[in-house]
Amino acid sequence: MLDVAAFAPFLARAVAEDVGAGDVTATTLVPADVRTVADLVAKADGVLAGLPLFLPTVRVLDPDAQVEPRAADGDRVVPGQVLATVRARARALLSTERTALNVLRRLSGIATLTARFVAAVAGLPVGVYDTRKTTPLWRDLEKYAVRCGGGRNHRLRLDDGAMLKENHLLAAYGTTGPAAIRDAVARLRAAVPAGLPVCVEVEDQAELEAVAGAGADVVMLDGFSLEALRRAVGWVRAQPPPRPALEATGTITLASVRAVAETGVDRVSVGALTHSAPALDLSLRHRPHDG
């Protein structure tokens, strides 16, 4: 669920950024008492995310505005489909509609791209995960959009779990060798509160073998070829339990994700879900009136 109230200050700042000292066009041409009705319309195929934020965005300038939803977050939408009908003071809607659309288009674009990755691995026992490659201050929204598209979230923040990477090893030990990896995992396993995962990124089979029995929950196979992924999966499955989950990561695309998933990894992580998703094309069409 999306905690809409938590984003009220964010939406107010976003509207203020766009309006500035005032909407010169709307206040010059539109009488203050005119009300309008407009339809939110999809102009492309996609997955909807962020619709509950549309009303509070308009209400920044019109507390009496109303939105009648005709779709819900997570729904697949098609061109021409009416997603919601908005009733508000005309000036307020004209001044807030671009901000409301920008938020909705961005989140729906993420949900749409995520859904395409999920569809690409349909039928395989693999999860599609996002990363922390998010827009600053948009993370909770962008990760919500990933969930709307059927994807899963890696940790939301640094306090959600430990993720050991090359730079941590170099900073702490001056090396990325197997001994450093084993010691770092042991220290993290002892220090991290129960219930929080310990994830470790490795770059080759030797590093995998160094870490697999050290207590990591997830081993991230960074930049492995398909052959290397298959070897890693086979090796881990031959080890006694408990075994870590294996995650493929590193420039995974829509064209490559199914082949990666077919190697037998448990999950794939895709930074592009949040850092490269194109916005979904949506528009707001005002209905004619007599005023």
* pLDDT over 70, % of the chain: 99
Say if residue 220's pLDDT is above 90: yes
| Domain at 4-110+278-286, CATH homologous superfamily | Quinolinate phosphoribosyl transferase, N-terminal domain (3.90.1170.20)
Q: Residue 145's pLDDT is what?
A: 98
Lowest pLDDT segment from 94-98, 180-184, 232-236: 180-184
* Tens-place pLDDT, residues 51-93: 999 999 999 999 999 999 999 999 999 999 999 999 999 999 9
Mean pLDDT of the chain: 96
| 4-110+278-286 and 119-275 share one fold | no
Q: Residue 178's pLDDT is what?
A: 87
Say if residue 4's pLDDT is above 60: yes
* Average pLDDT score over residue span 13-40: 97
* Tens-place pLDDT, residues 229-276: 999 999 999 999 999 999 999 989 999 999 999 999 999 999 999 999
* pLDDT over 90, % of the chain: 94
Q: Which CATH number fits domain 119-275: 3.20.20.80, 3.40.50.300, 3.40.50.360, 3.20.20.70?
A: 3.20.20.70
* Average pLDDT score over residue span 181-208: 93
What pLDDT band is residue 289 in, cutting at 50, 70 and 90? Answer: confident
Q: Residue 254's pLDDT is what?
A: 98
Say if residue 49's pLDDT is above 70: yes
Active site residues: 98, 133, 165, 201, 222
CA angle 248, 250, 252 (to 5 degrees): 80
What pLDDT band is residue 20 in, cutting at 50, 70 and 90? Answer: very high
Q: Residue 290's pLDDT is what?
A: 60
Q: Where are the domains of the chain?
A: 4-110+278-286, 119-275
